[in-house]
Structure 1
Amino acid sequence: MPPRKRIFREDILKAAVQLVQEEGTAALSMRNIARTLRCSTQPIYSEFENMETLREELVAYIREHYLREDADSYKQVALSFLHFAQQEKNLFQLVYLRQRAAGETFFEDPNEAQTIHKLEVNLELPRQKAAEMHRRMQYYSYSMAVMMATCYLNFSQEEISTELTEYYRIILSYYKQVKSEEELQHWLERSRNLLV
C-alpha cells in the first residue's frame, strides 16, 4: 500500500506565501519551499510540474486570498489594495512587480467586474465609460501602491483616503463632464456609498 499523502497543494502554496513574506521573492524556490515545509522536494514536484507552474498558481492564490474584496464601497476596494501593498510588500512585489510575458494582462483585478458594475449604476455611465474610469483609478492606485511597496513613500491611512477621494473627484468631473461645483456635488452625493 502506498504511503498516505501528507503534503497537499494548499500546504505548498501556503508555505510559498510564508517564504515570500519572510524572505522575499528571490528566496522562492522548490528547495526553500521544501525547507519551509520540512520535507524533500518530491511532494512539491508531484503537485507542480516546475517552478514556473508553481509561481503562476501562487500568484493566482495570492490574488484570491489577499486581494479579493467583497466591499460595497469602491473606495474600500482601493484602500484594501493599498493596505496590501503597504503591509505585504513582498507579496505585492511578487504579484505586481514582475516581468510580464508578451500579451499578459498588465493589472490583475479580482474585483473588476463588480466594481465596474457599481460605477455604471451609481454614475449612470455606459459600461465602456465605467470601465475606462475604473482603469484610470487603477493606474492611480497602482502608482501609490508601488511607492508604498518599494518604501519610496509611506502614506498614512488618512493621506491615502484623502488622495483617493481627491482623485475620484477629478476623474468623476471628467467622465461626467461636470460644468459646476453644484453638479459635481450632485454626482458625489449619488456615489457617496462608493466613497465610504
Structure 2
Amino acid sequence: MPPKPIVSKQDIIKTAIQLVRENGMSSINARSIANALNCSTKPLFRIYKNMEELKNDIIVELNAYYNLFMDSRITEKNRLLSQGVAYIEFARNEKMIFNTLFMNMTMAGSSLQDVIHAEWNRESIENVKAITGLPMDKAEMLFINIWLYSHGIATQIVSNGINMSLETVTKLLTNAFKQFSIDISENNK
C-alpha cells in the first residue's frame, strides 16, 4: 500500500490561491507551492499529473470564489448597476485574483456578442430591459456600455493603483447608467 500523502489536494489549492492572492498567477510553480507548504514537490506530483492540471484547478476555484462574491452583492433592484459595483469592489479587494481572472487573456477571442449571449449575463440584461423599458437590443447595448465602463474603472484600480471609495464607484456607475440609458433611449426614436 502506498504511503498516505501528508499534503492533500485541498492544502495545495488553498496554498496556491493564497500565492495568487499575494503575487499573481505567475508566482505559481511547483517549488513556490512546495515551499509554502513546507514540503518537497513530490506530494504535488502525487496528486497532480502536471502544473497545467493544478493551474486549471486553481482557475476553477478562483472562478467559484468570484461567483460567490458577486452573488452576495448583486441585487434585483438593478442587477447591472450592482453587478458593476461588485465587479469593481472585487478588483479593489482582490487585485491579483482580478488580474488573473480578467486581465490575463482569459477572454482572448471573445466578441461583444459572446459577452452579451453568455449565460451569466442574460439575467442582468433581462433586468435592464424590465427596469428601463428598453427593447432587448437597446438593453444589450446598455449592458455592454456599463460592462466596459465598469471594467475600465476596475482595471485602473488594479493596474494603476487608483484608490476609489465604494461611494465614488457607486456614484460614477449610477451616473453612467442614467446617461447611457438616456443616450440609448434617444437613439431608439
Q: TM-score, normalised by structure 2?
A: 0.77
Please list the CA deviations of residues 63-84 of structure 1 after superposition, one character each: whole Å capped at 9, or x if unmatched.
2213442222422222221111
Which whole-Å CA distance do the structure 1 matches of 2:126 and 2:104 have between them? 29
User: Which residue identity lines up with residue 161 of structure 1 in the other structure?
Assistant: T
Following the alignment from structure 1 to structure 2, what is the Cα–Cα distance between the partners of residues 91 and 161?
22
After superposition, residues 2-17 of structure 1 pair within 5 angstroms as 2-17=2-17
Distance between the aligned counterparts of 1:151 and 1:111, measured in 2? 28
Query: Residue 117 of structure 1 corresponds to which residue in structure 2?
Result: 126
Q: Separation in 2 of the partners of 1:133 and 1:47? A: 46
RMSD of Structure 2 on Structure 1 (CA): 3.0
- Kept in 2, the 8 Å contact 1:67–1:81? The answer is no
Matched residue type, 1:55: K
- The one-letter code of the counterpart of 2:102 is Y
CA distance in 2, matches of 1:113, 1:137: 14
SS across alignment from 2:2: coil
Superposed CA deviations along residues 77-114 of structure 1, whole A, max 9, x for unmatched, are 22221111112111111112213585357898884233
Instruction: Tell me the equivalent position of 2:96.
Output: 90
In the TM superposition, what whole-angstrom CA distance separates every residue of 1:14-37 from its partner, at most 9, and x where no partner exists?
211101222333322122112222
8 A Cα contact 2:138 2:185, kept in partner = no
- Is 1:51 paired with 2:51? yes
Q: Could you tell me the percent identity over the aligned residues?
A: 26
Q: C-alpha distance in 2, partners of 1:46/1:27?
A: 21
Match of 2:156 among 140, 147, 154: 147
Residue 177 of structure 1 aligns to which amino acid in structure 2?
E
The unaligned stretches of length 5 or more in structure 1 are 180-196
Distance 1:65 1:39, change over 3 A: same
Kept after mapping to 2: 8 A contact 1:85/1:149: yes
Structure 2 partner of 1:133: 142
Deviates more, 1:2-11 or 1:115-124: 2-11
Q: Distance in 2 between matches of 1:177 and 1:7?
A: 61
The structure-2 alpha-carbon separation of the partners of 1:134 and 1:48, relative to structure 1 and needing over 3 Å to count, comes to farther
Please state which structure has a larger fraction of its residues in helix. Answer: 2
Q: How many pairs were matched up? A: 179
TM-score of the superposed pair, with normalisation by structure 1: 0.74
Any unmatched runs of 5+ in structure 2?
A: none
